[in-house]
Amino acid sequence: MILYDLICGKGHGFEGWFRDGKTYDQQARGGKVACPICGNRKVKKAIMAPRLSRGAAAPAERAPTAAPAQAAAPAESQAVMVSDEAKAKAAELLNAMRELRSHVEANSDYVGDRFAETARQIHYGETDKRNIYGEASEDDARELHEEGISFQRIPWVPRGN
């Protein structure tokens, strides 16, 4: 596994795990690597400091093997070993994401897989302005962005533990 620091065409920095350099190259060429902030698919490797190994680590010190990150699928998770401080920060972030979900659900209309269609109707004045949420494919999201329709993609975390 290899971890790359990446940067999108709009300057947002993020990380991605890949099986190897060839896998990154294939996914990037195929438009399968997208910025988790803005969805931009013009992504390149950022300058990184090398991660040097100091020899064989004891079993407790070994980093776990994780699956490749997929920016397009924020619901996927990775297994990682973290410090207590990092666990606390992760719990804080998870709570914030749950609060965001609750806020969106309480203040928006759910339109399901009709998100792109409904967003266009609102944008072009064909229906009343209101907050909506739902599902959109990568193609729908790209087309909405190209049309200048304002929306955000957010990770949708589960309500339970």
Q: Could you report the per-residue pLDDT of 106-119, keeping only the tens digit for each? A: 999 999 999 999 99
Judged on CB neighbours under 10 Å (0-12, 13-18, 19+), 133 is buried
**What pLDDT, on a 0 to 100 scale, did the predictor assign at position 109?**
94
Structure token pair of residue 26: 């294939």
Residue 80 one-letter amino acid: V
Higher pLDDT pick, 60 / 109: 109
The pLDDT-based confidence of 141 (bands split at 50, 70, 90) is very high
Closest CA to 41 of 64, 12, 65: 12
Collapsed DSSP state (helix, strand, coil) of residue 54: coil
Q: ∠ at Cα 129 (126, 133), nearest 5°? A: 105
Of 22-31, 52-61, 64-73, 91-100, least confident by mean pLDDT is: 64-73
**What pLDDT, on a 0 to 100 scale, did the predictor assign at position 70?**
36
Mean pLDDT on 67-74: 38
What pTM was estimated for this model as a whole? 0.48
Q: Please, what is the average pLDDT of the chain?
A: 79
| Distance separating the N- and C-terminal Cα atoms of the chain | 28
Q: Where does residue 61 fall: left (phi above 0), alpha (psi -120 to 50 degrees), or beta otherwise?
A: alpha
Domain ranges of the chain: 2-47, 84-146
**What pLDDT, on a 0 to 100 scale, did the predictor assign at position 50?**
60
pLDDT value at 93 more than 70 = yes
pLDDT value at 79 more than 80 = no
